[in-house]
Amino acid sequence: MSNQSVQTVSTSNDKFKVALAVVATIAGVVGFFILKSQNKPTLMCAGALVAGLVIAVLLLWNSTTGRDFLSFAKESVRETKKVVWPTRKEATQITAVVFVFVLVMAIFLWGTDKILEFLMYDVILGWKQ
């Protein structure tokens, strides 16, 4: 028995809606910058951006892809709420351990480099630096 999930294929209508949503988003951003370059009021510039985004969201809301994304976003938020975040003390201790480990590794790699440099130049090649 396989646990593979079956993914449905989007219809061309859904793909068209997603493409229109992308175009609406780009149009909103471009409209914002064009209006901003013409020194229009900030409210008008923001309105163009928000209008493009609202149209894009409405188009995505009516597509299967958009509903799947919304479902994924809700599930992600639900899973994030299940995360047990460390306390301040635990986070400080973990950070200290990481810093000590990095310092020890840096000293180890520096020492290894110096030993290999000594072996290579002084012992094997006979060059003095």
Asked whether residue 6 is domain-assigned, the answer is no
Neighbour count for residue 87 (Cβ, 10 Å): 9
Q: How many domains does the chain have?
A: 2
**Alpha carbon distance 124, 100 (integer Å):** 34
In a shared domain, residues 75 and 96: no
38 within domain boundaries:
yes
Q: Are 48 and 28 in contact (CB under 8 A)?
A: yes
What is the C-alpha separation between 17 and 30, in angstroms, rounded?
20
From CA 127, how far away is CA 115, in angstroms rounded? 15
Q: Both 18 and 77 in a single domain?
A: yes
Note down the domain range covering 74. Answer: 12-81
Count CB-CB contacts under 10 A for residue 56.
22
Per-residue pLDDT of the chain (129 residues; tens, 9 = 90+): 456 665 555 678 888 888 899 999 999 999 999 999 999 898 999 999 999 999 998 988 888 888 888 899 999 999 999 999 899 999 999 999 999 999 999 999 999 999 999 998 888 887 765
In a domain, 128, yes or no: yes
**Residue 3 belongs to a domain:** no
pTM flag (> 0.85): no
Say what the pLDDT of residue 12 is. 81
